[in-house]
């Protein structure tokens, strides 16, 4: 009953922004086209008495390299009061900066750093945007679809030099033998 009330109220409030939320299995989805509306909508969702989405549980990114706006960012929100989940989705690319939401949800700091490190999506006005999971000298962003499966460099520890060594990855193919006659 609470989720139906929430759905009706939610649809009515955002009519002026021309946003159409939809629901599936006690979860609600909201697609945002404009990056500029992000702060207004997330602040409303956190503070309004009909919502109370006080928890940001995760920030997800899906990469569609064939699209013009190749990344879909999904903010996963939870309202403990109404036992409701909301997924706010927006599309962007690597050239468009996304506004940081660390002033709305403090826990977004680490999540945005992870998204920056793994996918290369830049967050404007982030207080500490630097690599989190990869090394500082790492080139590229490993969760992008165009990142090579083997990476660009190989990291290993050399006992003789007593330090970590970076070497370029070389894939030797000339000694491989392909037998197309064998059925297994």
Taking residues 106-130, what's their average pLDDT?
95
- Asked if residue 177 is part of any domain, the answer here is no
d(CA 86, CA 107): 17
Q: How high is the pLDDT of residue 1?
A: 40
d(CA 167, CA 179): 32
Cβ burial of 177 (10 Å; 0-12, 13-18, 19+) is exposed
- Asked if residue 59 is part of any domain, the answer here is yes
Residues 87, 90, 94, 97, CA torsion sign:
negative
What CATH number does residue 126 fall under? 3.30.460.80
Express each pLDDT in 55-88 by its tens digit. Answer: 999 999 999 988 999 999 999 999 998 888 999 9
Cβ burial of 102 (10 Å; 0-12, 13-18, 19+) is buried
- Asked if residue 178 is part of any domain, the answer here is no
Express each pLDDT in 120-172 by its tens digit. Answer: 999 999 999 999 898 877 888 889 888 777 667 778 888 999 998 888 876 66
Summarize the chain as % helix, strand, coil (round to 5).
20, 30, 50
- Asked if residue 23 is part of any domain, the answer here is yes
Give how many domains the chain has, as a whole number: 1
pTM: 0.79
- Asked if residue 182 is part of any domain, the answer here is no
- Asked if residue 89 is part of any domain, the answer here is yes
Range of the domain at 70: 2-132
- Asked if residue 174 is part of any domain, the answer here is no
- Asked if residue 36 is part of any domain, the answer here is yes
């Amino acid at each position: 009953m609470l989720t139906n009330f929430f759905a009706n109220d939610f649809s009515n409030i955002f009519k002026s922004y021309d946003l159409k939320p939809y629901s599936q299995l006690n979860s609600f989805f909201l697609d945002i086209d404009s990056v500029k509306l992000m702060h207004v909508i997330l602040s409303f969702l956190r503070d309004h008495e009909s919502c109370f989405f006080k928890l940001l549980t995760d920030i997800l990114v899906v990469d569609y390299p064939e699209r013009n706006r190749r990344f879909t960012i999904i903010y996963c929100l939870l309202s403990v009061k109404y036992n409701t989940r909301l997924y706010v989705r927006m599309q962007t690319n690597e050239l468009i900066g996304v506004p940081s939401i660390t002033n709305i949800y403090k826990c977004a700091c680490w999540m945005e750093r992870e998204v920056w490190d793994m996918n290369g999506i830049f967050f404007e006005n982030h207080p500490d945007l630097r690599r989190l999971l990869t090394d500082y000298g790492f080139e590229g962003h490993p969760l992008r679809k165009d990142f090579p499966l083997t990476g660009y460099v190989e990291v290993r520890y050399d006992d003789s030099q007593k330090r970590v060594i970076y070497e370029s990855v070389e894939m030797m193919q000339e000694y491989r033998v392909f037998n197309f006659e064998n059925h297994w």
